[in-house]
Structure 1
Amino acid sequence: MKLAATDFDGTFAPHRQPVPASNIEAVAKWQAAGHKFGICTGRGLSLIEFELKKYPALHPDYLVCNNGAVVVNNKREFLASLCLPQETVKGLLRMSLVRQTKNPMRLLTETDMYLLDTGSTIEFGLVIPMETLSFAEAEAMEKVVQISMRCESVEEAEAVTAEVTKTYPDLIGNINRNYIDFNLKEANKRDGLRRLLKVTGWQPEETLFIGDDQNDLPAVKYFHGYTVETAEPFMKEAATKVYPSVGAMLLAHL
């Protein structure tokens, strides 16, 4: 048995485009051969499920969500979850650069997703309806696995990440373009996949990982993984091989 894991946005689904039918067809052939397929994403469970409903022919064997903080099986049963300590949630939300920002922000629990009332007039860029929380309501939320911010640029995302992780070294800022996802340091796609393998007991003869941006880099390096042709140059340099699509990678390893 082989195991394949793909990032979703920009990899399995090209940016601002639907998932190509050829990718879904390749997944079906991959699974029919007895191999495992899953999605490893920065999205929370509710948001990736919202997207997957558009593709009834697609049946992932597992999902690694929130950059590795949440892992579920094909029945959507929780296999692993890394929740932020309550004091860390409160402290991060009380930081001046967070309280004063006009950038849109989200808070994600194991199962749900909320907007934070930052006063932003900018959309977060998600079509799924979300309840809006005040900062006080957000501080009281339980089982928080991720706090996200949409910045104006990659440079701003990197600067905000540096400031937050300096104050809270137990956190990591998983950056995808101009978006930051703050998770526990152990919550990254590399370690999320490692937790999946440990909990399930799966021992694949080969583990394939493919992704296109910064939050995919640790997994690409660890699993000697792959990227797509639309990725940035630094990802192509890190990858073992560049493929035109996820489907092409799967078919090449059947």
Structure 2
Amino acid sequence: MYKIIACDLDETLLSDDRSISKENIEAIQKAKELGVKFVPATGRGYNTVDGTLKELGLYDLENEYVISYNGGAISENKGSKLLYFEGITFEKASELYKRGLNYDVCIHVYTKDMVYAYKFVQEEIDYLAGRMEVKEIFDDHIDFLKGQEIVKVLYMNTDYDYLKKIEDDLKDITGDLDVSYSSNRYIEFNHQGVNKGQGLKKLTDILGVDIKETIAVGDNFNDLSMIKVAGLGVGVQNTVEDMKKECDVITKATNNENAVAEVINKYILGTN
């Protein structure tokens, strides 16, 4: 019996219009009634998922959890109690920010409480609307963040090949970082060893659950670490093609067609 479902949000649980289907909500509730924990695992901050938790009936509950910042934080839903956090140094964030100025990218800098964006283009404004609060910045440095805990930095460009070239360019400074891709638009830089897979491992350690008793569901490369470490690694039908071969299972449904309900119905409820 699986005890934990770790599930990506954007392009996995959430439909393209950012909604959660009735079918997904009902399946998650049925799994919860059986004692299965449904754990959102997102690259976003834990303070951005309150709306999702409310829709799922998990908001402000004890013994329910969120993995956020690509595994950089684990929090209990009750009072958003932070159980684990690991970010990057200000010096590393500053270096990534300054190098990013040389590319055609929107740069995001994540602190615990805010996301700052440079070159906040309209396409990105539209994409993030309803997902998270963002503060636009215009300086060629982030000295104003000295002394604050910084979680990660990411670059946005919807050209994946261009982002791959950036990854190659930055190899001289990313040896101590965990580099991943998400939402078909981001290259993300976390502290080395910080990823969703390690976040799921840490949560199972906290709860005393065998990692084999977990399901991980996702769609993009920042989900791959948890898909590979989980007892059952599931990619939804709209998963990036190059990643599908790494998954144990690919759903018939996309994120717009109740993919999460398909997983729960088959592997938790045994109804299809």
Aligned to 2:261: 247
**Which runs of 5 or more residues in structure 2 are unaligned?**
254-258
Query: Which deviations, in whole Å up to 9, do the C-alpha atoms of 1:150-202 show, x marking residues without a partner?
Result: 11401111222232343231112220112122111211110011111223334
**More off after superposition, 34-43 vs 51-60:** 51-60
**Which runs of 5 or more residues in structure 1 are unaligned?**
none
Q: Is the 8 A contact 1:79 1:199 kept in 2?
A: no
**More off after superposition, 198-207 vs 16-25:** 198-207
Aligned to 1:111: 113
Q: Does 1:80 align with 2:84?
A: yes
Aligned equivalents of 2:168, 2:48: Cα separation in 1? 27
Aligned to 2:191: 184
Aligned equivalents of 1:231, 1:2: Cα separation in 2? 24
Query: Which deviations, in whole Å up to 9, do the C-alpha atoms of 1:211-253 show, x marking residues without a partner?
Result: 1111111221222401112223333322211222111111222
Q: Name the SS of the counterpart of 1:11 in structure 2.
A: helix
Query: Which deviations, in whole Å up to 9, do the C-alpha atoms of 1:87-131 show, x marking residues without a partner?
Result: 212222222xx1233422211112322223x47565342114422
Structure 1 position 204, deviation (Å): 6.6
Q: Name the SS of the counterpart of 2:170 in structure 1.
A: helix
Q: How does 1:159-170 map to 2 (within 5 A)?
A: 159-170=165-176
Q: Is the 8 A contact 2:115 2:133 kept in 1?
A: no
Q: How does 1:8-19 map to 2 (within 5 A)?
A: 8-19=9-20
Q: Name the SS of the counterpart of 2:169 in structure 1.
A: helix
Aligned to 1:92: 96
Aligned to 2:200: 193
Aligned to 1:226: 234
Structure 1 position 17, deviation (Å): 4.3
Aligned equivalents of 1:186, 1:94: Cα separation in 2? 23
Q: Is the 8 A contact 2:110 2:152 kept in 1?
A: yes
Aligned counterpart for 1:212 among listed residues 205, 213, 219: 219
Aligned equivalents of 2:34, 2:83: Cα separation in 1? 25
Aligned to 2:161: 155
Distance 1:227 1:165, change over 3 A: same
Query: Which deviations, in whole Å up to 9, do the C-alpha atoms of 1:117-146 show, x marking residues without a partner?
Result: x47565342114422333234552511011
Question: Which residue identity does 2:192 align to in structure 1?
Answer: K
Q: Name the SS of the counterpart of 1:231 in structure 2.
A: coil
Q: Name the SS of the counterpart of 1:162 in structure 2.
A: helix
- RMSD of Structure 2 on Structure 1 (CA): 2.3
Distance 1:48 1:166, change over 3 A: farther
Q: Does 1:69 align with 2:72?
A: yes
Distance 1:109 1:11, change over 3 A: same
Question: Which residue identity does 1:40 align to in structure 2?
Answer: A
Q: Does 1:237 align with 2:245?
A: yes
Aligned to 2:57: 57
Q: Is the 8 A contact 1:172 1:184 kept in 2?
A: yes
Aligned equivalents of 1:183, 1:19: Cα separation in 2? 28
Q: Name the SS of the counterpart of 1:253 in structure 2.
A: helix
Question: Which residue identity does 1:155 align to in structure 2?
Answer: D
Q: Does 1:35 align with 2:43?
A: no
Aligned equivalents of 1:119, 1:73: Cα separation in 2? 31
Question: Which residue identity does 2:261 align to in structure 1?
Answer: G
Aligned equivalents of 1:120, 1:141: Cα separation in 2? 28
Distance 1:130 1:112, change over 3 A: same
TM-score of the two chains, using structure 2 as the length reference = 0.82
Q: Is the 8 A contact 1:165 1:172 kept in 2?
A: no
Question: Which residue identity does 1:250 align to in structure 2?
Answer: I
Structure 1 position 62, deviation (Å): 1.0
Aligned equivalents of 2:142, 2:7: Cα separation in 1? 36
Aligned to 2:256: none
Question: Percent sequence identity over matched residues?
Answer: 23
